[in-house]
Structure 1
Amino acid sequence: MGDCACNSGVKIIYSCSGAADVGELSDRAVRQLRKEGIAQGSCIAAIGVELSGYVQSAKGADMTIAIDGCPVGCARLNLENIGVTPVAINLAELGFKKGESPYSETLLCGCGGNC
Structure 2
Amino acid sequence: MNRTKLPIVYSCSGCSSAAQTANMIAVKMDRENVAEMSCIAGVGGDVKPLVKMAKSGREIIAIDGCMLSCCKSSLSRHEVKPKHHFVLSDFNIPKLMGKDPNPELFSNAYSQILEQTRISN
- Normalised by the shorter chain, which TM-score bucket? 0.7 to 0.9
- Asked if the contact 2:93/2:105 (under 8 Å) is kept, the reply is no
Q: Distance in 2 between matches of 1:93 and 1:105?
A: 17
Q: What is aligned with 2:85?
A: 88
Q: How much does 1:10 deviate?
A: 4.0
DSSP-derived class of the 1:67 partner = strand
Q: Deviations over 1:56-112 (max 9, x none)?
A: 101004211110001000001100111100121110122222118741333222223
Q: Distance in 2 between matches of 1:61 and 1:36?
A: 22
Q: Distance in 2 between matches of 1:10 and 1:83?
A: 21
Hey, which of these two has a bigger chunk of helix by percent? 2
Distance 1:59 1:104, change over 3 A: same
Q: What is aligned with 1:33?
A: 29
State yes or no: 1:49 paired with 2:32: no
Distance 1:60 1:27, change over 3 A: same
Letter in 1 for 2:22: S
1:98 to 92, 95, 98: 95
Q: How much does 1:9 deviate?
A: 3.1
Alpha-carbon RMSD across the aligned residues, in angstroms, is: 2.2
Q: After TM superposition, where is structure 1 displaced by more than 6 Å over at least 4 residues in a row?
A: none
The answer for unaligned runs of 5 or more in structure 1 is 1-6
State yes or no: 1:111 paired with 2:117: no
Q: How much does 1:50 deviate?
A: 0.7
TM-score by length of 1: 0.83
- Asked if the contact 1:68/1:76 (under 8 Å) is kept, the reply is yes
